[in-house]
Amino acid sequence: MSMISCEKVYMSYDSTKAVNGVSFDVEKGDFLCIVGENGTGKSTLLKGILGLQKLNSGTIVFSGIRAGEIGYLPQKTLVQKDFPASVWEVILSGRQTRGFKLFYTPEDRRIAKENIALMGIEEIKNKSFNELSGGQQQRVLLARALCATQKLILLDEPTTGLDPFVTAELYNLIAKLNREHGVTVIMVTHDIKNSVGFATKILSMEHDGDFFGTTQEYMKTPAAKLIFGGAADA
């Protein structure tokens, strides 16, 4: 059974139709890239999966995972620039997804330390979050997302604003989480050329119709051929 099964999902954003009858499945261990044109509801769909926004119609069914066990790295916001907290505090706050708590348990702290080590950011754990570079901030927020779960993470444009070298590092880190640690990944991205090679499945949301299938199947589509040229047939 699929970890997540979406069937004919329709959603609106500010009274405008955003997600138009999307259907797809995510299996344990998948790396799903959600790509497509602006205004096709990619970020809105993630909010639907997380239960942050209601569906107009259709279903999203979970198996072996609850909504509270999904790690989430949202799009960058202006708020992040003035986040008044240390790296340690930001990462530890990821444990709040398991219910509001005034105090963190030794287990919470152990998991936070493990994810700090996994992201390779031990040397900055006591620094202020707003003093970090963009790449460091994304590693911190990824560690925070992993504090919620080791099963599934949702990433919304995680490389926006990063330079090419840092972008490549972050993609490789996410791929390592998927391939070596068994974390299922759903990632929205506009960076199709650099990200598709890490994916096992592609959901392409377009105004004239959606595509869902394996990466190999996607590379044979007209949209991929337009983006990659002759490489799409390779």
The Cα diameter of the chain in Å comes to 57
List where CATH 3.40.50.300 sits in the chain: 1-65+151-234
pLDDT in tens, 117-147: 999 999 999 999 989 999 999 999 999 999 9
- Rounded Cα gap, residues 26 and 109, in angstroms: 30
pLDDT in tens, 152-178: 999 999 998 899 999 999 999 999 999
pLDDT for the residue 78:
46
Give the confidence band of 151 by pLDDT, cuts at 50, 70, 90: very high
pLDDT for the residue 103:
81
**Nearest 5°: phi and psi at 207?**
-65, -25
pLDDT for the residue 98:
55
Q: Identify each DSSP E strand in 38-150 by its residue range.
A: 57-62, 70-73
- Rounded Cα gap, residues 156 and 48, in angstroms: 13
pLDDT in tens, 195-234: 988 999 999 998 778 899 999 999 999 888 888 876 544 4
- Rounded Cα gap, residues 56 and 19, in angstroms: 9
User: How many alpha carbons lie under 13 Å from residue 30 in its C-beta half-sphere?
Assistant: 21
pLDDT in tens, 3-46: 999 999 999 987 788 899 999 999 999 999 999 888 889 999 99
pLDDT for the residue 104:
87
Residue type for 200, please? T
pLDDT for the residue 6:
96
What distances in angstroms separate CA 171 from CA 35, 47, 83, 164, 204, one per listed residue? 15, 22, 24, 10, 19
pLDDT for the residue 230:
61
Which residue bears the tokens 């979050």?
129
Give the confidence band of 116 by pLDDT, cuts at 50, 70, 90: very high
Mean pLDDT of 177-194: 93
Better pLDDT: 61 or 81? 61
Superfamily of domain 1-65+151-234: P-loop containing nucleotide triphosphate hydrolases (3.40.50.300)
29: left (phi over 0), alpha (psi -120 to 50) or beta: left
What distances in angstroms separate CA 219 from CA 123, 191, 196, 203, 215, one per listed residue? 41, 15, 9, 12, 6
Q: Supply 222's token pair.
A: 């007209």
pLDDT in tens, 64-95: 887 678 999 988 764 455 567 899 999 999 98
Residue type for 69, please? E
